[in-house]
Amino acid sequence: MNKINSVSVSHVNRSIWGHLAEREKTLPLVTPLDIYPQFQETRGSWFWESGMAVVEIETVDGIIGHGWCEDGCDATARIIDNHLSRLLVGQDAAEIEGLWDRLFRASLPYGRKGSALHAISAIDIALWDIAGKSVGKPVYELFGGPVRETIPVYASALHPVGHEKVAAEAKAYVADGYQAMKMRFPFGPGDGIDGMRENERHVANVRDAVGDDIEIMADAYMGWDFAYAKKMVRLLEPYRLAWLEEAFLPDDLNSYAKLRQETNIPISGGEHEYTHFGFQQIIEKGAMDILQPDLRRCGGFTVARKIAALAAAAGLNVIPHAYGPVHLHFAQGHTNVPMIEHFPVPCWDELPDVDREPIFHGEPQPSGGYVTMSREPGLGVTVNDKIFT
Ligand SMILES: [Mg+2]
C-alpha cells in the first residue's frame, strides 16, 4: 500500500487552454451572452480571469503526482484545501476508483457539476500520474494502450477575422499537415438574417480555401437557439461539415436531439458536461453524434473511461475538448477516441507574452497534424516551476 502523505494545491494565473483563452477575449465569436447587447462585442466582456489549479499529491514512498484543472474564480483550490484533501491523506493512492467515488459522494450537496468536479478531476489526474510512475509505465498503457502509433490532431481556431485572413490561415493549416480544422461562428439569434448569411459565408470561405479533401467543423459555443439552428443547418449542409459543435446551452438536450432529426450534419457537444451520469443522459436522448468531454472538468480519467465505454456501446466517438497531456493519454488508450483538438497560433497572429513560458516541460507537440507519445512514466510531463511565480 502506497499511502497518500500530502495533498497541496496552487492557484496559477494561467489558462489550461493556453493562449486561446487570452486571445479569445477580444476575437470575434458568438457566445451564450451574445443575445445581450452589452456583452455582444467580445467574450472578454463577461469572461473570468484566466486561472488554473495545480494539485500535487505525494505518497509516503515519495512518488509525486500532478493534476490540474481550470480555476478562474479560485474556487477549486479552496474546495480541495477546505474539504477534499482530508478524504485523501492516509488513503491508498492506488485505490483510484474508490477515492473518486468517495470524493463525489462527499461533495454531492455542493457538487455534481462545476467547480467541485473540476477539483475531483485534478485529483484524479494526479492519482493516475502516481499510478503510472509507481509501475514505470505511461498512463495510456494502464488503459491497455497504445491503440495507435500516432494521435491525429485537428487545428482549432479560424475565428471570423475577415475572409482573406481566414482563407490564408486555413491554407496554412493544410500546409502544416492538418487533415481537419474547426472554425468559430461570428453570429447568433441577436444578429438577424445578415448574421446568418455571414455565418454561411465564413464556412463557405474555409471550404473554398481547403478544398474537398480536408474535414472542416464549426463551433457555435452555446450561442444559438433551436429556431435559429434549424434555419442555419439548411444553409450549411452544402459545405459538408464534419460536425456542428455546441449549438445550444449544455442542459438544452431536447434542442440537440431535435436538431439531429433536422439535419445530416453530425451534432457534437459535451465540453461543459460532467460525469458519466451527464453523458448517459446525452446518449439516452439521442442528442449528439460526437461526445466532447474535457477530462479536466468532467471528472478526470476515471470518468472519461466510463464515458468512452458508454459511447462505444452506443456506437459514438469521443473527441475531447482542447489539447494537453491528459487528453493525449486518453486518446492513446481508447479505440473510439480518434482525434484531439489543438490550438495553433494563426499565421496572422503571435503568441501573447503571458503564454511564452510553457505550463509543462515534456509536453508532446504536434508535427504534421499528428502527435507521437513518449514512454515516460505517468503523464510524462513536469509542471514548469516558473508558472507559480
Ligand atoms: Mg468548443
Region of poorest pLDDT, from 39-43, 89-93, 119-123: 39-43
Distance between Cα 63 and ligand 1 center (Å): 35
Portion of the chain with pLDDT greater than 70, in percent: 100
Q: Let me know: does 124 contact 365? Beta carbons within 8 Å.
A: no
Beta bridge partner(s), residue 11 = 53
Q: Let me know: does 181 contact 170? Beta carbons within 8 Å.
A: yes
Q: Let me know: does 157 contact 122? Beta carbons within 8 Å.
A: no
Nearest Cα residue to 269 out of 241, 250, 285 = 250
Span 50-62, mean pLDDT? 96
Check residue 352 and give its pLDDT. 86
Distance between Cα 272 and ligand 1 center (Å): 9
Check residue 389 and give its pLDDT. 78
Catalytic center residues: 321
Q: Which fold would CATH assign to domain 142-388?
A: TIM Barrel (3.20.20)
Distance between Cα 60 and ligand 1 center (Å): 40
Amino acid sitting at position 2:
N
Span 68-92, mean pLDDT? 96
Alpha-carbon gap, residue 141 to 378, rounded angstroms: 9
Q: Is this structure's pTM higher than 0.95? A: yes
CB atoms within 10 A of CB 364: 19
Q: For domain 4-16+51-135, which architecture applies? A: 2-Layer Sandwich (3.30)
Distance between Cα 314 and ligand 1 center (Å): 22
Mean pLDDT over each residue of the chain, to the nearest integer: 96
Distance between Cα 15 and ligand 1 center (Å): 15
The C-alpha angle 312, 313, 319, rounded to 5 degrees, equals 25
Does the structure show a pLDDT above 90 at 299?
yes
Does the structure show a pLDDT above 90 at 267?
yes
Distance between Cα 204 and ligand 1 center (Å): 20
How far, CA to CA in Å, does 139 sit from each of 128, 144, 332, 375, 380? 7, 9, 9, 9, 8
What is the residue extent of each domain of the chain? 4-16+51-135, 142-388
End-to-end CA distance of the chain, in Å?
35
Does the structure show a pLDDT above 90 at 293?
yes
Does the structure show a pLDDT above 90 at 146?
yes
Can you list the alpha helix ranges (DSSP code H) found in the chain?
19-23, 76-82, 96-106, 115-135, 139-142, 163-176, 192-210, 226-236, 253-262, 275-284, 295-298, 300-313, 325-332
DSSP H or E run through 180: strand 180-184
Span 179-197, mean pLDDT? 96
Distance between Cα 219 and ligand 1 center (Å): 6
How far, CA to CA in Å, does 352 sit from each of 20, 22, 47, 166? 9, 8, 18, 19
Cell matching residue 348: 496572422
Distance between Cα 264 and ligand 1 center (Å): 20
Distance between Cα 225 and ligand 1 center (Å): 16
Distance between Cα 270 and ligand 1 center (Å): 9
Question: What is the separation of C-alpha 178 from the centre of its chain, rounded to a whole number of angstroms?
Answer: 18
Does the structure show a pLDDT above 90 at 364?
yes
227-266 pLDDT, tens digit each: 999 999 999 999 999 999 999 999 999 999 999 999 999 9
Residue 328 burial by CB count (10 A; 0-12/13-18/19+): exposed, middle or buried?
buried
Check residue 43 and give its pLDDT. 87
Distance between Cα 266 and ligand 1 center (Å): 14
Contacts of 375 (CB under 8 A, 6+ apart): 137, 138
Does the structure show a pLDDT above 90 at 40?
no
Does the structure show a pLDDT above 90 at 294?
yes
Assign 3-class secondary structure to 61-108. CCCEEEEEEECCCCCHHHHHHHCHHHHCCCCECCCHHHHHHHHHHHCC
Does the structure show a pLDDT above 90 at 60?
yes
Half-sphere exposure at residue 115, Cβ-oriented, CA atoms within 13 angstroms: 17
Does the structure show a pLDDT above 90 at 368?
yes
Q: Is 251 helix (H, G, I), strand (E, B) or coil?
A: coil
Portion of the chain with pLDDT greater than 90, in percent: 91
Does the structure show a pLDDT above 90 at 18?
no
Give the DSSP letter of residue 50. Answer: P
Residue with cell 507521437: 372
Q: Is 353 helix (H, G, I), strand (E, B) or coil?
A: helix
Classify the C-alpha dihedral 284-285-290-293 as positive or negative: negative
Region of poorest pLDDT, from 96-105, 262-271, 344-353, 375-384: 344-353
**Size of the chain, expressed as the number of residues it contains:** 389
Distance between Cα 356 and ligand 1 center (Å): 24
309-345 pLDDT, tens digit each: 999 999 999 999 999 999 999 999 999 999 999 999 9
